[in-house]
Structure 1
Amino acid sequence: MALATDGLARRTGADLRDRLRRVRMNVLLALQTGIAAGLAWLIAHELIGHSAPFFAPIAAVITLAVSVGQRLRRAFELVFGVAIGIAVGDLLIYLIGTGPWQVGLVVTLAIVTAIFVGGGSALVTQAASSAVLVATLTPPTITGISYDRFVDALVGGLVGLGVMALLLPLNPLTVVGRAAGPALDVLGEGLTATAEALASRDTDRAEAALARLRAAEGDLRTLQEAIEAASETTALAPVRWRARGALNQYVDAAEHVARALRNSRVLVRRALTLLRDGEPLPAELVEAVEALGEAVGWLRRELADAVEPVAARERALRAASEAGVAYAAGVGFSGSVIVAQVRSTAVDLVRASGVNGSDANRLVRRAVGRHVPPSPRG
C-alpha cells in the first residue's frame, strides 16, 4: 500500500511539473493573445467607431493562436478569407434574404470562391465561417451592405502581427535552442551509447541506441518548425534583428544535423551486425564513434553560445581520423561500412559547423586518408 501511494505521489508530482513547464513555455503566447484581443477591440470600437466590433478581437486571436512561424501567412489568409466570406454573405443575403437554404447556399459559394482563388484549408475555413456569421448573426440590413466587418478583421489581423513584432516578441534563439536541444541530445547520446555498446560488445545496448535514434524524427520536425518561427520573428520584430547571425547558424546546421542522424542510424545497424557476426573490432573504431558523439555535444553548446563550432569540427575530424586508423588496422565487411558511415557523419557535422560542402569533404578525406595506405597499382 505504501509503495502504491509513493508511486502515485511521484506520478502526480511529475505530471504537475510537466504542466507547469508547459505553462511557462506558453505564458508569453497567452499574454500576446490577450493584449492583441483587447487592443483590436479598443481600436475598432474607440478609434474607428464600430459599435460591436467582434470580428476584430476574433481576428487578432486567430492570427496569434496558430503555430508560430505561420502567423504572417495566416494573417493574410484570415483577412482574405473574411473578405470572401463577408462579400459573398452580404451580397447573397441582401439579395435573397435569410433562411436555412440561404445559409447553405452562402456557405457553399463562399467555399467554392475561396478554392477558386487558390486558398488553402485555413482560408477556406475562414471564408465559410465568416459567411455563416454574416448569414445568421449580422445579416445586411435594408440600408445596404456594410464594410465594418471586413475592416474589423483587417484591424484584428494587423494588431495581432503588431503585438507579435513590437510588443513581447519571442526570443528567436530561445525558441530554436529549446527545440534543437532534444534533437542534438538524442543524436549525441545515441552515438555515445553505440560506442559503449561496441566497447562492451553489448547488442542490447546497441539496439536501445538504435531505437532512440529512430524515434528522433519528431524532434527534427520540431526543430524545423522552431527555425521557421524564429525566422518569422527576426523578419518582423526590429528588436530581434540582432539575432539573425546566430539564427543563421542554426538554419545552416539543421539540414546537416538531420543527415547526420540518418547516417548514424545506418552506422548503429551495422554495429549490431558486426557484434552479432563477431567481426574484428579495432579500438580506434570505438574511439571514432565516441568522437562523433562528442562532436554533437560540442555542436549543441557552441550553437547555444552563438560562437563558431570549432570544437565540434575538431571532434568530427578526429572521428574521421580514428576511422582511418581502424580501417588500416583491419576490419571486416561491417567494420568497413561503419568506417564509411563515420566518414559521412563527420562530413555532416563539419558542414553543420559552418564549412561548405567541398571544403568539408576535403577535410574529412584528408583526415581519413592520413592513415589509409595507398592502393597498389595493378
Structure 2
Amino acid sequence: MSVAARARTRLDLGARRLRVSAVPIVQCGLAAGLAWFVAADLVGHARPFFAPIAAVISLGVALGSRLRRTAELVLGVSLGVLIGDLLISWIGSGPWQIALVVALAVAVAVFADGGTVLVAQAGSSAVLVATLLPPGQSGGLDRWVDALIGGTIGLLVSALLPSHPLGPVRRQARRALDELAAVLFGVAEALRGRDEEAAAEALRRARRSQPLVDELRASVKSGREVTAVAPLRRPHRAEVARFAELAERTDYAFRNTRVLARRALTALQDDEPAIEALPDAVAQLATAVQKLTAQVGGGDREAARAPILDLVHDSPILGAAAGDLGVSEQVMIAQLRSIAIDLLQATGLSRPEAQRALRAEL
C-alpha cells in the first residue's frame, strides 16, 4: 500500500471515529462550559477549575457507569482537599510534603475500596492543594462544591443530550459475533484439512475472545444507563434488554466453541478419524452466526433462526447415534448442539423453546 493510500485510510478511520463519538464530544464540551459558567458566574467562585474537570470526567468520551463515577469524583476531590488542607497547613509545602500528602490521600482512597476515579482524584486534588492552591487562597469547601457542580451538570447534559444507547451495543455485538463465526470457520477448516496448527490457532483465537464479550457486556450496561437517565431514550429499553440476552448467549456460545476447538485439536493430535460431514456442520453453524450478525443492526433476529434449525434437523451427524461415533466426535457434536441452543436463545427463544425447536416440536 502506498503512502498516500495509507494516509487516506488513516483519515477515513479518524473521520469514522469522530462520527461515532460526535455526541459524546459535544457533551463534554458543553458540560465543561456550563460547569464553569455556573461555578464562576452564578455561584461566584474565583477559579472553579474543578467544575469543568468534574463535568468531563463524569461524562467521558466512552460511556460507562456515570453515576458511580460522579460520586467517586466528588468523594475523591473531597478526600484529597481535606488531607491536603490539613497536612500542608501543618507541615508546609515542598517535595517531601507533596509526596507524603499524595501517598496518604491515595492510601485512604484505596483503603476505602475506591474505584479508579476516586483514587486518581484523591491524589490529583492533594497535588493541587499542595502546589497550585495552598491553603488560604481558596477554600476546600469551594473546591468540593465545584466538583459537585461539574458532576451534576455532566449528568444533566447526558440526560438532555443523550448518546444513542444502541449504537455502541450493535457495534460490539457485531464484533463479537464476527469473531465467533471466524473461530468456527477456523475449526471447520482445521478438521477438513486435518491441520493441527490451524486447529491450535482456532483454539488460541477462541481463548482471546473474552475481551470482546466483556466489551459487549459493558456497552449493554452503558445502554441501560442511558435509557434510565435520559427520558428521550427510554423507548429503547426493550431493545437494550434483548441485547443483554444476546450478550449472555454469545458468552456461552464462545465457551462452548472453546471446548469444540480444544476437542478438535485433541482429535487431530491423536489422529482420531472424523466423519466427513463434521467440518461441513461446523461451517454451516458459522454461517448461521453470520446470518445472526446481519440482523443485529436492527433487522429481525427471527430470520436467523431458520439456518440454525436447518443445520440441526438436516445434518446427518447431529442425529447420529452415539454408538456410531468416536469419543471426540461425540464431544464435538454435543458442543455444536449446545452452540445451536445458545444461538436460538440469542434470536429471542427461551431455553425450553430452543430445546423444543431442536427436537422439531415447534
- TM-score normalised by L of structure 2: 0.85
Larger Rg, first or second structure (1 or 2) = 1
Residues 347 and 215 of structure 1: is their aligned pair in 2 closer, same or farther, counting only changes over 3 Å?
same
Contact (CA 8 Å) 1:206, 1:272: kept in 2 or not? yes
CA drift at 1:146: 5.1
- Separation in 2 of the partners of 1:116 and 1:216? 33
Paired position in structure 2 for 1:349: 343
Letter in 2 for 1:265: R
Residues 328 and 319 of structure 1: is their aligned pair in 2 closer, same or farther, counting only changes over 3 Å?
farther
Deviations 1:24-46 (A, max 9, x none): 33333222211111110011111
Deviations 1:193-228 (A, max 9, x none): 544565566667656554543443332222122222
Paired position in structure 1 for 2:239: 246
Structure 1 window deviating more from structure 2 (216-225 vs 186-195): it is: 186-195
Contact (CA 8 Å) 1:60, 1:160: kept in 2 or not? yes
Matches within 5 A, 1:6-45: 7-45=2-40
Paired position in structure 2 for 1:161: 155
Percent identical among aligned pairs is 45
Residues 281 and 275 of structure 1: is their aligned pair in 2 closer, same or farther, counting only changes over 3 Å?
farther
Deviations 1:95-148 (A, max 9, x none): x26322544443344334434444234212211221221232223329x95521
Letter in 2 for 1:351: Q
Is residue 329 of structure 2 the alignment partner of residue 335 of structure 1? Answer: yes
Letter in 1 for 2:36: W
CA drift at 1:337: 2.1
- TM-score normalised by L of structure 1: 0.82
Match of 2:167 among 146, 151, 174: 174
Paired position in structure 1 for 2:82: 87
Q: Secondary structure at the match of 1:62?
A: helix
- Separation in 2 of the partners of 1:80 and 1:112? 14
Is residue 46 of structure 2 the alignment partner of residue 51 of structure 1? Answer: yes
Contact (CA 8 Å) 1:246, 1:306: kept in 2 or not? no
Q: Return 5+ residue gaps in structure 1 as ranges.
A: 1-5, 370-378
Q: Return 5+ residue gaps in structure 2 as ranges.
A: none
Matches within 5 A, 1:60-209: 60-65=55-60, 67-94=62-89, 96=90, 98-100=92-94, 102-141=97-136, 145=139, 147-167=141-161, 169-195=162-188, 198=191, 209=202
Number of equivalences = 357
Deviations 1:133-191 (A, max 9, x none): 1232223329x955211111111111112212212x11111110111111101212333
Residues 125 and 202 of structure 1: is their aligned pair in 2 closer, same or farther, counting only changes over 3 Å?
closer
Q: Secondary structure at the match of 1:147?
A: helix
CA drift at 1:242: 1.0
Structure 1 window deviating more from structure 2 (189-198 vs 62-71): it is: 189-198
Paired position in structure 2 for 1:262: 255
CA drift at 1:354: 2.8
Residues 349 and 292 of structure 1: is their aligned pair in 2 closer, same or farther, counting only changes over 3 Å?
same
Paired position in structure 1 for 2:227: 234
Paired position in structure 2 for 1:373: none
